[in-house]
Amino acid sequence: MIYLDHAATSWPKPPAVIKAMSVFLERAGGNPGRSGHRLSIEAARIVYDARETIAELFHAPDPLRVIFTLNVTHAINLALRGSLRPGDHVVTSSMEHNAVMRPLRALERQGIRLTMVSCAPDGMLDPADVARAMSAATRLVVINHASNVTGTILPVAEVAAIAHAAGVPILVDAAQSAGVLPIDVQAMGIDMLAFTGHKGLQGPPGTGGLVLNTSVDPSTLDPLVRGGTGSHSEFEEQPDDLPDKYESGTPNGAGIAGLAAGVRWVAERTVEAIRAHEMALTQALLDGLSAIPGVTVYGPRDAGRCTGVVSFTIAGQHVSDIGLRLDDEFAILCRVGLHCCPAAHRTIGTFPAGTVRLSPGVLTSHQDIQQTIAAVRRIARP
């Protein structure tokens, strides 16, 4: 079996991730921050260690500004719903995932104004277009770091500089880039970074978070959920302390332990080495698929401008049929359709049918890629 669906979730997980989750449940299964006994204390230590590990990876200014959430979608909703008010103006791109677009559309019905900046057919964003879209009412710029449809890397640092020049913060969706591209929230000027744990960070599902830079004043960001935090239990109001303000209820301790192990696994190999490996695989895919008659490849043709995500179609064939044949005849697992990203597919011209998406990962081999190219060549044969 060749697994080429890492943009959906990484698989298989590193053994250290599975072991860390098992150890947490076996030896530290207490509720962190809720009790003073040894199991609770050990659980809290593991959760805080995970904050430090993630803060180090993203060069976050303070581990307490790493807020754990259920996933990147939860983190994005916290950032959007917590910071925007009726009358506010938001600028985003035409390559955004529904994790961004659906909450923005809901907020639009509640009184915010939204401008979607059109990207090029290969998914590239011109920062100057963002500048032109901004107004005196703009309160937030929201973009992804890399597209889940074409892998196109957006110019986050340049857009952040433009936004900051107007006194506007930027929220970055790093679902496709965390663990795959180097991220430094301070050097890149990222005010809020939403990430998921189960993709490039190699962690389990049900994990993710929101990193708040020091530019973010927590008093201006409301919690998405309120409830017990294990702190200030004498009050019935939500505490203002970080991260407690945004982490009500019992955390996913086992998942967080697994996420920390995944991040350490990535750090040991280095994001730079992982990036180099995936670039080589991606370039081979781009070149090999582009040479097949009847195949159309979407997005940048240079792997240096995208992550390990390659979308294609075959003339006269439905993407679902292609995906089924890849699975049934060649044991190649991929994803087909719109990838929860209709705006991006409208941008690249593949709406409503979508594309076949191949997304290699750190454990994908060059032989896997060559076998995949050969399989697509056979499927595309008249």
Which residues are catalytically annotated? 340
Interatomic CA distance for residues 247 and 251, integer angstroms:
7
CA–CA distance from 294 to each of 245, 315, 332, 347 (Å)?
A: 54, 5, 20, 21
- The Cα 133–Cα 285 span in angstroms is 35
Tokens 């986050």 appear where? 156
Q: At 297, is the secondary structure helix, strand, or coil? A: strand
The answer to whether the CB of 263 falls within 8 A of the CB of 54 is: yes
The tokens for 132 are 């032109």
Paired tokens of 216: 């973010």
What is the Rg, in whole angstroms, of the alpha carbon atoms belonging to the chain? 21
Element (H, E) at 115: strand 113-117
Query: What CA–CA distance (Å, rounded) separates 126 from 202?
Result: 31
Give the separation between CA 27 and CA 4, rounded to whole angstroms. 35
Q: Are 311 and 150 within 8 A, CB to CB?
A: yes
> In b/e form, how buried is each residue of 15-30, taking b as 16+ CB within 10 angstroms?
ebbeebbebbeeebeb
The answer to whether 179 touches 200, Cβ cutoff 8 Å, is: yes
User: For residue 110, how many other CB atoms are within 10 A of its CB?
Assistant: 10
Please tell me the distance from the alpha carbon of residue 262 to that of residue 55, in angstroms, as a whole number. 14
Q: Residue 147 carries which DSSP code?
A: -
Q: Closest by alpha carbon to 216, among 156, 157, 171?
A: 171
